[in-house]
């Protein structure tokens, strides 16, 4: 088994699923998501490639669960080599004047608050040599993207601050920009879109990981 550990938050589908699968060739995967069935499917795919995963079916907004997970990672492995944070709440598109209260609260909780809590939990595991990956989707200010655009922008702003603070000390914090992908999140935003020109999450995961070399 590899000695390298990759923590993937939001590993049940889309880019997170694809990154976990690709990284499993060189890392033991700690896969976090709410959907147990999807995590089990990921585990089957990873095992078929000869890799190994530890499944953590939990909500990243559950601060006690995430704190305990990070403690368990430290107790078992001592460190994390790479953290890819792909978990996101994609609120339905709607005018800002008609924002749904529950969707707004969930967007803030998942996209902003959970990220702000996770960084202090994961940073000690990454140390000065690990890498943290965040994924930009610049929708802030676009019409009907109020909840998603604002909270995703806040998440990336937080990641950029962390990146600026750790240039000299590590860990290396990277904000990557995926190409448009054929994912469930994008289909929710653009249901009538021709998906043929869109990149697959698998291909995009490979491309993004290649930029880290």
Q: pLDDT grade, residue 183 (50/70/90)?
A: very high
Task: Tell me what the mean pLDDT of segment 116-123 comes to.
Answer: 98
User: What is the maximum span of the chain, computed from C-alpha positions, in angstroms?
Assistant: 53
Q: What's the token pair of residue 58?
A: 């939990």
Give the containing element (helix H, strand E) for 134.
Answer: strand 131-135
Interatomic CA distance for residues 122 and 182, integer angstroms: 29
Q: Which residues contact 65 (CB under 8 A, 6 or more apart)?
A: 58, 59
Under CATH, what is the fold of the domain 5-207? Rossmann fold (3.40.50)
pLDDT higher than threshold 70 for residue 75: yes
Task: Tell me what the mean pLDDT of segment 182-206 comes to.
Answer: 95
Task: Tell me what the mean pLDDT of segment 110-117 comes to.
Answer: 98
Which pLDDT score is estimated for 11? 98
pLDDT higher than threshold 90 for residue 165: yes
Task: Tell me what the mean pLDDT of segment 169-179 comes to.
Answer: 98
Average confidence score pLDDT of the chain: 96
Residue where the block lists tokens 């529950």: 102
Task: Tell me what the mean pLDDT of segment 64-75 comes to.
Answer: 98
Which pLDDT score is estimated for 3? 83
Q: pLDDT grade, residue 2 (50/70/90)?
A: low
Cα angle: 161, vertex 16, 135; to 5 degrees: 30
Cβ distance 155 to 115 under 8 Å? yes
pLDDT higher than threshold 70 for residue 99: yes
pLDDT higher than threshold 80 for residue 49: yes
> Taking the model in full, what pTM does it have?
0.96
Interatomic CA distance for residues 107 and 145, integer angstroms: 12
Cα–Cα distance list, 206 to 179, 209, 213 (Å): 12, 5, 12
């Amino acid at each position: 088994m590899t000695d390298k550990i990759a923590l993937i938050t939001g590993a049940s589908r889309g880019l997170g699923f694809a990154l976990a699968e690709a990284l499993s060739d060189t890392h033991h995967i700690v896969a976090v998501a709410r959907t147990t069935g999807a995590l089990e499917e990921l585990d089957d795919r990873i095992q078929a490639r000869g890799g190994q995963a530890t499944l953590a079916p939990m909500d990243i907004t559950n601060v006690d669960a995430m704190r305990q997970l990070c403690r368990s990672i430290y107790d078992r492995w001592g460190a994390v080599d790479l953290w890819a944070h792909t978990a996101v709440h994609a609120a339905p598109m709607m005018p800002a004047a008609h924002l749904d209260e529950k969707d707004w609260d969930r967007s803030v909780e998942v996209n902003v608050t959970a990220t702000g809590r996770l960084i202090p939990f994961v940073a000690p595991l990454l140390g000065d040599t690990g890498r943290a990956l965040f994924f930009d989707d610049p929708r802030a200010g676009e019409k009907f993207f109020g909840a998603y655009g604002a909270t995703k922008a806040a998440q990336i702003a937080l990641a950029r601050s962390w990146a600026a603070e750790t240039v000299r000390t590590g860990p290396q914090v990277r904000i990557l920009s995926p190409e448009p992908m054929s994912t469930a999140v994008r289909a929710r935003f653009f249901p009538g879109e021709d998906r043929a020109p869109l990149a697959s999450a698998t291909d995009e995961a490979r491309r993004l990981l290649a930029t880290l070399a």
